[in-house]
Structure 1
């Protein structure tokens, strides 16, 4: 089973995992894997903490969540440096990630009590109906390495606000970040064990899903991982939220501002070293502006230099792991073998670290990995469309549907296209974005189901309870 962010076990000791710096290729630290009994005991402790937490008022939960946000800002430098060391993320991107996490805490603390407040409705025969959003218990999250802080915060803060307990199985390569976050939350005032990190392998993870104290499961990862985890949870009749991969299309229409489109599409492709589920990945450009766009785009991508992710001047750091870089390279050359044209990049550099250059493929067509699959790294797939209508057809010709974008000077028309025709969960008009705390986040088709952020995530794992008063 391939997971986005699968375990990296120590080559000598199978009872440990070892984190590796993808820039220096040197080991960082080893961690003992929990046994089944240790993992189950941790789940039980989380449940016990939940039994107390569910009785805490919405206002008090919000207060502690606000303190977590403040603590994130306080420890931003340390957290960002750790994420760069473990994943190769640019240091400046790590700091932006921590700021986003703090913003999620702040928004949740302010909006949570209102979002989760009881509702009253008049029902038949003068009866009064009450709707309560009651916490259900322990929520188990399986998260990848590409956003070590954000992926964990995204589901954790919503569920803590809802009154649930939280288990986290983080990707092995960012084990340190998961434990850092646990300690940070407890320093901020969160009761011990309410947020619990499980350092486990996938076999034990499957057993945790079935544990009777686990009431819901959420995963961010590949579509294959989503199918596996959803099947395990479904067999136990447990609700899931799945945020899976994508191959997001960004449309450059005939009336687009090309300077803006080129600049944004470069940034949207290489952000987080190209390893983001909502990165801009396919660029569908109409024939009328294709030649001007591709000339400028290839030049911009060709000029991007790789370097030390801790250096403020670096625009592109290493990928998280060598094997992921090698898989990406294989997808690139399989696409070329099936007719794609390499316009820049595409060659593994002779240097230390899991680097891959900013790469542009043209003549991308169905049957190529660059068209059909998610390329999780700094590789852009450029596709020529006949006109605006054809561009939208190509954008929707995908098994994925997480995000996407439209570049057009006619903003009203672009918004209408986004609403009525774009078969995806999120659309960005004349820009690129990753997440906004007060707007829903999630996808359709093979990109998963369920929503996070914007108040929606707080209600994914609650008992929406009906009470009728005679």
Structure 2
């Protein structure tokens, strides 16, 4: 059985029976059968069903938002926003899939023609995490269903109900039964699916270790993969940045979703000329966020997703403090029921300390003081991760854009915190993974880029 546990109360939300290996393979059978028909459907038909899915999400927004809040502790207002974003990505690909996948004409000479076609691959396995239990799945599912692929979902054990609900969304929207299927399976059964010749690709959002394991399995079976892994995003504050406004954005960048986001700002790198002013404003902003019951409307920071994750986060904080850092705010689990960790600000962080080198997946900010842009860029890139990065300045078009080019990351923002958006590619470099999701780049990841060449000059009997 898979149990969904409310991290705010410790109570069991629901229990779900695991699928057996035989049932998972039956689901793959159904996916293969459905694909043969689904791949031949028109873009107009797929567009209509994606628009239906957006309608279902909005009609049941409160229900789905409460489900994810109970499963992983997301504040209810943020949960509703996540459902709305899922509806948006469905509508985005309903509007753009056909143009993103249109044949491309190539110039190959006066007597020949060539085009590149973008054709679906088949069944794709998605291994998805708990922190954005609807959005992570929809940003995979919407483009792939629009492209003519079919999907199998292995969701996190923290959010099994969300996986089941997402399958229901697509069924209610009118997608055929085998187009998108949720599986309650563990890693062993997932490995069996990856090894099966009928599964054509795998995408994973998760830890570096999980990504390495899936990439190894998929590589051994010559399967295409897209990996979105961890992040330790730098938030660089230059000496001309508007401090008060930047500090407010910094708190949001760190605390959104309880700090449990791969693209949350985690390392705050601040020029010495504005360091003291920024730290004062940042601590005040972080302290102003309301921690509480995630089902209450005023709550901005809920519990961590489970007690074990909170303990891991606290261990990172303790090791960082032991290595010489100072906690200006927070630094201890809250004395209340549930897995609550408060907004925490660490300063004087040694550059080899845990909070500097590891991904802190919770509301903990490590602040560093630098004396130049060059030092800021060097520290920003001194990480095994390369998912997102942001720079803050009074000259965004000039100085900010020039600095952003120096980041070793996939998603680089100037005077804005890092976020995913259906209209732009999303993904990282280094240990943050490879491949891209969203936009035209995302829908083209799991397709056959087929070259079709025609010689128009060859006549029968010619030599």
Mapped to 1, the partners of 2:350 and 2:62 lie a distance apart of 43
Mapped to 1, the partners of 2:350 and 2:286 lie a distance apart of 21
| Structure 2 residue 156 is matched with structure 1 residue 171 | yes
> Is 1:18–1:29's contact at 8 Å kept on the other side of the alignment?
yes
| Structure 2 residue 417 is matched with structure 1 residue 466 | no
Query: Which residue number in structure 2 is paired with residue 428 of structure 1?
Result: 413
Query: Which residue number in structure 1 is paired with residue 76 of structure 2?
Result: 91
- Secondary structure in structure 2 of the residue aligned to 1:214: coil
| Structure 2 residue 383 is matched with structure 1 residue 398 | yes
Structure 1 residues not aligned, in runs of 5+ = 1-15
**What's the CA shift string for 1:193-242, capped at 9, x where partnerless?**
21011100111111111111110000000111111110110010111000
Mapped to 2, the partners of 1:246 and 1:229 lie a distance apart of 18
| Structure 2 residue 104 is matched with structure 1 residue 127 | no
Structure 2 residues not aligned, in runs of 5+ = 456-463
**How far 1:299 moved relative to its partner?**
2.2
Query: Which residue number in structure 2 is paired with residue 3 of structure 1?
Result: none
Moved more, 342-351 or 118-127: 118-127
| Correspondent of 2:351 among 366, 386, 398 | 366
- Secondary structure in structure 1 of the residue aligned to 2:99: helix
Query: Which residue number in structure 1 is paired with residue 22 of structure 2?
Result: 37
> Is 1:260–1:430's contact at 8 Å kept on the other side of the alignment?
no
> Is 2:86–2:135's contact at 8 Å kept on the other side of the alignment?
yes
Q: In angstroms, what is the RMSD of aligned CA positions? A: 1.1
Query: Which residue number in structure 1 is paired with residue 340 of structure 2?
Result: 355
> Is 1:62–1:113's contact at 8 Å kept on the other side of the alignment?
no
Query: Which residue number in structure 1 is paired with residue 260 of structure 2?
Result: 275
Query: Which residue number in structure 2 is paired with residue 141 of structure 1?
Result: 126
> Is 1:273–1:378's contact at 8 Å kept on the other side of the alignment?
yes
Mapped to 2, the partners of 1:293 and 1:410 lie a distance apart of 18
- Secondary structure in structure 2 of the residue aligned to 1:173: coil
Query: Which residue number in structure 2 is paired with residue 193 of structure 1?
Result: 178
**How far 1:415 moved relative to its partner?**
4.3
**How far 1:418 moved relative to its partner?**
4.7
| Structure 2 residue 16 is matched with structure 1 residue 22 | no
Mapped to 2, the partners of 1:431 and 1:214 lie a distance apart of 39
TM norm structure 2: 0.96
Query: Which residue number in structure 2 is paired with residue 66 of structure 1?
Result: 51
TM norm structure 1: 0.95
Mapped to 1, the partners of 2:419 and 2:405 lie a distance apart of 22
Give the number of equivalent residue pairs.
455
Mapped to 2, the partners of 1:374 and 1:417 lie a distance apart of 27
Mapped to 2, the partners of 1:335 and 1:202 lie a distance apart of 33
Query: Which residue number in structure 1 is paired with residue 360 of structure 2?
Result: 375
Mapped to 1, the partners of 2:366 and 2:280 lie a distance apart of 14
> Is 1:270–1:378's contact at 8 Å kept on the other side of the alignment?
yes
Moved more, 290-299 or 214-223: 290-299
- Secondary structure in structure 1 of the residue aligned to 2:170: helix
> Is 2:390–2:418's contact at 8 Å kept on the other side of the alignment?
no
| Structure 2 residue 241 is matched with structure 1 residue 256 | yes
Mapped to 2, the partners of 1:418 and 1:32 lie a distance apart of 51
**How far 1:310 moved relative to its partner?**
1.0
